Amino acid sequence: MPTTLIVLAHPDRRSFNGAWSDATEAAARAQEHTVLRSDLCQMGFDPVERAAHYADWPDATHFDPLKAQEGAADTATTPADVAAEVAKISQADRIILHFPLWWFAPPAILKGWFDRAFQHGALHDVDRRFDTGLFRGKRVLMCATTGSRAEESAHNGKEGDVRLLLWPTAYTLRYLGFDVLEPVVVHGVHGYHRGDRKTELTARLAATLAAQHNVIAGFDTHPLLTFNRDDDFDDQGQLRPDRPSYSPFIRHADTPGD
């Protein structure tokens, strides 16, 4: 049966993000999936990559994270907390990330999980990334919340286009070869609602939790984000003039007004 890894990046399991991750787990188990979890804050996962994690790193040598990770992968000396995460990522057929957007980005602990658990030499290297990544055919879904309204999170919204805010996370996953699903985003999630607004939010969040069963049941047909393929780029790593651009992050020459 498929294996689903659920990653929660929120300090309180009682939060909506925590409840949403539990709804994902219930839906996955209903499909008889094996479920793995990484509740990063509850685990006390250390998000800061540094030399202290590597007993064999020479004190007199400046710290190079990629070399340290590759060396640990080659010598089976990967830090225990990272080794556990690498094993879960490697076992998973699908990964579902649950997190809020804080200061226009995921919480630092999720970025730190990428920094450390996406181990160079174990999960990727210079020859195994993007179209040749080890995780081709495996899928990831981001389930994210914002404090802003949907209108504010639109392409012309004051809070910035949420799709662009999520793009660096999506591209991190794409780097390893994953297929990345269109994110599911719930807006206006914060504790300052009162009266009718609080009632509306409560009903909306309950509907999201109830709908998660269908999201997971439809996982294999959920729309995917589109990225440029490796052969869309020239030998200098730049987008070929005749290839499409799918994101403002990778685009053709700027035009006036951009």
Residue 149 in this model has a pLDDT that exceeds 80: yes
Higher per-residue pLDDT: 114 or 197:
114
Give me the pLDDT at residue 255, please: 53
Q: Same domain, yes or no, for 120 and 165?
A: yes
d(CA 53, CA 46) in angstroms, rounded, equals: 10
Q: Same domain, yes or no, for 37 and 93?
A: yes
The residue range of the domain holding 192 is 3-227
Q: Same domain, yes or no, for 34 and 132?
A: yes
Q: What is the mean pLDDT of residues 85-104?
A: 97
Q: Same domain, yes or no, for 59 and 90?
A: yes
Q: Same domain, yes or no, for 201 and 241?
A: no
Q: What total of structural domains would you count in the chain? A: 2
Return the H-helix or E-strand segment holding 110: helix 108-117
Residue 218 in this model has a pLDDT that exceeds 90: yes
Q: Same domain, yes or no, for 105 and 164?
A: yes
pLDDT category of residue 134 using cuts at 50, 70 and 90: very high
Q: Same domain, yes or no, for 198 and 221?
A: yes
Encode pLDDT of 64-84 as tens digits.
999 999 999 999 999 999 999
Return the H-helix or E-strand segment holding 185: strand 184-186
Give me the pLDDT at residue 242, please: 95
Q: Same domain, yes or no, for 15 and 52?
A: yes
Contact predicate 89/95, CB 8 Å: yes
| Tokens 């990778």, located at residue | 250
Q: Same domain, yes or no, for 135 and 203?
A: yes
Residue 29 in this model has a pLDDT that exceeds 60: yes
Q: Is the pTM of this model over 0.75?
A: yes
Give every CB contact of residue 221 below 8 A, 6+ residues apart in sequence. none
Q: Same domain, yes or no, for 60 and 85?
A: yes
Q: Across the chain, how many H-helices and E-strands are there? A: 7, 6
d(CA 181, CA 225) in angstroms, rounded, equals: 6
Residue 36 in this model has a pLDDT that exceeds 60: yes
Contact predicate 73/44, CB 8 Å: no
pLDDT category of residue 230 using cuts at 50, 70 and 90: very high
Q: Same domain, yes or no, for 199 and 84?
A: yes
Q: Same domain, yes or no, for 66 and 88?
A: yes
Residue 191 in this model has a pLDDT that exceeds 90: no
Contact predicate 157/106, CB 8 Å: no
CATH number at residue 179: 3.40.50.360
